[in-house]
Structure 1
């Protein structure tokens, strides 16, 4: 049976934390699935870089849909696509963009507020819900607030601002709340207890391990662009050394074998 939004929704209501090592293309998605990932979510930054674009709401929707289609073709677990702000300020256009990724096999999305007014994200969520209802589609909407990530308000106001936005997004129809860059345990407790939505956190230095997050009531943990960034760093070091020294050993160590990689994509 193909993956569904219900399957993804159910993964957010378990005793354990849903762990997402965010993918950036079909190959990384298949690799992560083979390692036991129960769902795949994309990182918009990683996808943009892999396609030759900068991150930050400038990624062509057509390419985003194409990447989503290539991943959905390859995996069996639910796919959630990070569409940043929906690539438009018009809620109706955002809903149409979401419809396009759903039609190629995604069952969830990540949609952010960023510097925009929270009321705008709420209107986008409502438009997506209306689109899905009228089209006979279902979608898990993970609403990301950048209150912490972008320091949108003073530090002592961030919990209350997050709660205000979280309640607004929930009323609009969000299925989950992604509080990126939140790491403080007491603040995590407060937000989890005050918002009746699965809380998603972003992997950051100082964040408790997944087992502890589960005890705190967190339901989803995303790697974000961290895996992609780390691999870019390794690739930069390997290529630099190869270009400067011409030595074969460094670039042939600690690699998956050709047959191992081929097996990921076998029939």
Structure 2
């Protein structure tokens, strides 16, 4: 079993080596073990995927910090891989709440996590610039006390504020405040992604699997991206398979979906790490 410091060192090395790497997003123990068995080198939790699995909305108002961190701990314990977590907006708008969330995340065995600048209020979705930077500074100060890489997220494009200049300004300020990785989910095209990567000197995370254009790992690497996550899209793909099977049975009374399903023995082989890669 690799200890937390060892996992942190592996995670750092992934961000420092040449090229981009994919960090997929499991939502529970079983999906984490399957992704590890497939040969991925690190994992990241997904608040959306976890929310789907427990029938809740993906928001800090709907899912408590304790629940998010327990899910993260379950995923940490499932494999020897480094795990970073989606820590929502830090579970509080004040900087102290963000710092506390980082501390608790490290206690859960995480070696990284993200803090976003979204308020959770549809009427005023993005945190004021000055406060957003103060929050990342507090989170970064706490992260330096632990084997923990902080990712700072600028959420403009997920909340209808299609302002690339402001997004870049925020990411640059987050970098100066001490963030280790920078992330602006929902960027519209490869030109915007390239502009973000060129505007900062820290590694940039990009999420694939959202609606819109789809780029390959090679295309993202050429644009300067270091880390590629999939957010809740793997969980949604699994739900899509469930819906396809259920609709076939409900609407047609047939069961052909079973031809594409994993066998019990194959599923167990991946989950219990006995499958041949």
- What is the deviation of 1:228? 1.3
Q: Distance in 1 between matches of 2:32 and 2:131?
A: 31
Alignment partner, residue 126 of structure 1:
137
Alignment partners' CA distance in 2, 1:12 and 1:191? 17
Q: Greater CA deviation, 163-172 or 93-102?
A: 93-102
- The equivalent residue for 2:189 is 184
Deviation at 1:45, TM superposition (A): 0.6
User: How far did residue 199 of structure 1 move?
Assistant: 1.3
Structure 2 partner of 1:138: 147
Match for 1:199 among 195, 198, 204?
204
Query: Is residue 2:261 matched to residue 1:255?
Result: yes
> What is the deviation of 1:120?
2.7
- Quick one: distance in 2 between partners of 1:80 and 1:132? 12
TM-score normalised per structure 1 = 0.89
2:189 and 2:255 map into 1 onto residues whose CA distance is 45
Taking the aligned partners of 1:257 and 1:12, their CA distance within structure 2 comes to: 36
Question: Partner residue of 1:55?
Answer: 58
The question of 1:104 aligning with 2:108 is answered: yes
Give the aligned CA root-mean-square deviation in angstroms: 1.9
Q: Output the CA distance in 1 between the equivalents of 2:76 and 2:131.
A: 29
Please state how far the C-alpha of 1:246 moved relative to its aligned partner.
4.0
Contact between 2:157 and 2:186, CA under 8 Å: does it hold in 1?
yes
After superposition, give the CA deviation of every residue in 1:73-109 in whole Å (9 maximum; x if it has no partner). Answer: 1111110110110111122122222222211211110
Correspondences of 1:20-99 after superposition (within 5 Å): 20-58=23-61, 59-99=63-103
Partner of 1:232: 239
Distance apart, 1:208 and its partner CA: 2.7
State the alpha-carbon separation in 1 of the partners of residues 143 and 41 from structure 2.
24
* Partner SS for 1:218: coil
Work out whether residues 206 and 228 of structure 2, in 8 Å CA contact, stay in contact via their aligned partners in 1.
yes
Inter-partner Cα distance in structure 2 for 1:77 and 1:245? 42
CA contact (8 A) 2:98 2:139 kept: yes
Q: Which 4+ runs in 1 deviate beyond 4 A?
A: none
Question: What secondary structure is seen at the aligned counterpart in 2 of 1:109?
Answer: strand
In the alignment, the residues of structure 2 paired with residue 260 and residue 77 of structure 1 have an alpha-carbon distance, to the nearest angstrom, of: 21
Structure 2: 5+ residue stretches without partners: 119-125
